[in-house]
Amino acid sequence: MCGIVGILNRDIHEPVDQALLNRMTDMMAYRGPSERGTYISGNLGLGHRRLSIIDLASGQQPMIDKERGRVVSYNGEIYNYRSIRETILADKGVQFHTSSDTEVLLRMADLDRFEWLESLNGMFAFAIWEGKAKRLLLARDRLGVKPLYYVDLGASFIFASEIKPLLIFPGVQRRVNDKKVLEYLAFRNIAGEETLFDGIRQLPPGHVIICEPSSYHLRVERYWREGLGHQMDEHSGRAKATDEQFMDIFSDAVKSRLVSDVPVGTFNSGGVDSSLVTAVVRSFKSDELHTFSVGFEEGSHDESRYASIVARQCETKHHTLLVKQDEYSRELGKTLWHLEEPINHPHTVQIRLLSQLAKEFVTVVLTGEGADEVFGGYPRYKIIKASSVMQWTPSAIVGQMANLLGRAGARRLSKIAASFGIDETDQVIFNAICIPAQDIPRIIVERLDVQSRKKIYEQSLLRLPGQIDRLLHFEQRTYLSSLLTRLDKMSMAASIEARVPFLDFRLVEWSYGIPSRDKIRRFRNKWIVKKAAERWLPHEIIYRKKFGFDVPIGQWLKDGKGLGAQLDVLRDVTFRQRGYFDHKIVETLVREHTKNELDHTEVLWGLLGFEMWCRLFIDRRIEEVGHA
């Protein structure tokens, strides 16, 4: 697990500046504290920070293939690299000099065709330079577990695992992507290739960029076909029951993610997903297993009791991190530095703190990320079910229901009622908005640009027949992306690697082929996961109520001597002069929330995160900030 950096000057006579490449590479030294490596060949430079996981002695990067004149800088893990090495490459007579997955990737690569990428089972973002042909290939894993950002400045094309290295390159401007501010506030993420930084883009998951030498024009192409042309029995035997098929694939996904030359543990919140991961890990691992969870003093948000139940059953060395309000507030700035975007998901802070704790015992953790978006775990997925039940209700009655439910504080039910009767695409997009329906017209007075989201959902319409399946497909390409970015950056901030078995591509492709009733059945979310888990976990773990906004942010924001003191930035002149939001309305929202008149947690958290981000990344030069 590592961090990569690259510079390609389009003028072949313009050499890469070694000192600049070093600075960009070292800007994210925490991603790879084991080693730093660089490679320069005229107008091309690659940087690499290495966190040693596999082949500790000889997996240094950038790695060079002298026979073909190629070099790779790679971030990630290829879980099936040994199989590829022993079959595909052995049949070709390839001789190896290391036992690393990096060399397998380098020797496997083809810059003319990209089907070979679908043979890789792993998480990755990499760059391969072909010296003789002067070609550059960038690729990102299917679901986007590993990030990859880039900027095209005309004279130079630069890329990196994080945004900060790009910000120190001459000519890169620190500007807000104005047209995406409202989208970020509404959805907590930006769909598509753009970011909140104007001009900085990210390579979409399952895609490649190929740069040809004629003009080094960037050509972006999709390589992942999402299982099209595959049969379900390629992933699991069709003769078995669906829950048994699920466990066949999932167990193998977990087993493959235990490949490591360093200690491995799990993040176990006590929820069904991370608990199932932990139980399956234990079935393969007989030696000491460390597990990690977060606790709160506020009982309404504390899941540590459930994590302890699983730890006892699986006989793990369990560690609980108690997160208090004052510590949480102090850690916002450093968390923001590593996330590089507003702290959209409040639990981002505790994931970084938990990663720091885990680093004392392990270098790799397995997590339950992705299960909700693949198998329908969020309560909002029931909206589709409820919509079909009430589609014949008169619109006037539906409108009255929405208003009454909203005033009563039943936000989820209010959103369901308000979405009845509208176009399917609009309904999906509307229900993905995080801000309560009654707050939307107060804070988002301009038309919300959702064209990128509509484009993504239209692809889902073409791809899948069922509405539940289309919704999940859409969320995997929008909401899930922000969760994965958060997981990667918070774990790498502590120099540990997070692996996500629920996002094994075989399991995801298999999920497209099972009926939607195996995901949500009789309004029970994630049915197939829970059914399979019955053989592994106690009933109270599997079927307990899912926690919602899993940090007591709303309560803490009311504490003027605690986290609520941070709201002062929404009242000062800097915020007003920025001009994105009506400061009088914002002041009203702050007053109503802090005086316990109305709950504006989501919108205030979004506004606070955006303003803090502007002050750290837009108002100041990156070199001036001392959080690295």
Plot region of 360 (φ>0 → left; ψ -120 to 50 → alpha; else → beta): alpha
Whether 2 sits among the annotated catalytic residues: the reply is: yes
Q: Comparing C-alpha atoms, which of 385, 369, 313, 327 is closest to residue 491?
A: 369
Q: Please, are residues 259 and 282 in contact by the beta-carbon 8 Å criterion? A: no
Radius of gyration of the chain (CA): 24
Euclidean distance between CA atoms 334 and 585, whole angstroms: 29
Q: What are all long-range contacts of 299-303, with beta carbons under 8 Å and residues at least 24 apart?
A: 300/552, 301/547, 301/550, 301/551, 301/552, 303/269, 303/270, 303/271, 303/547, 303/550
Per-residue DSSP letters for 491-536? HHHTT-EEE-GGG-HHHHHHHHHS-GGGTSBTTBTTHHHHHHHTTT
| First vs last C-alpha separation in the chain | 18
Distance CA 184, CA 435 (A): 11
> In terms of Cα–Cα distance, which of 385, 397, 485 is closest to 427?
385
Helices 505-513 and 242-256: angle between axes, nearest 10 degrees? 170
Reported as type and span, the H/E element at residue 597 is: none
Q: Are 135 and 213 in contact (CB under 8 A)?
A: yes
> Which residue's entry shows tokens 């969760």?
483
Report the side by side order of strands in the sheet with 201-202: 35-41, 44-50, 2-9, 156-160, 149-152, 201-202
Cα gap 287→364, rounded to integer Å: 15
Q: What is the DSSP string of 327-338?
A: HHHHTHHHHHHH
Cβ neighbours of residue 309 closer than 8 Å, sequence gap 6 or more: 270, 538, 540, 541
CA 472, CA 231: separation in Å to the nearest integer? 20
Q: Would you name the residues annotated as active-site residues?
A: 2
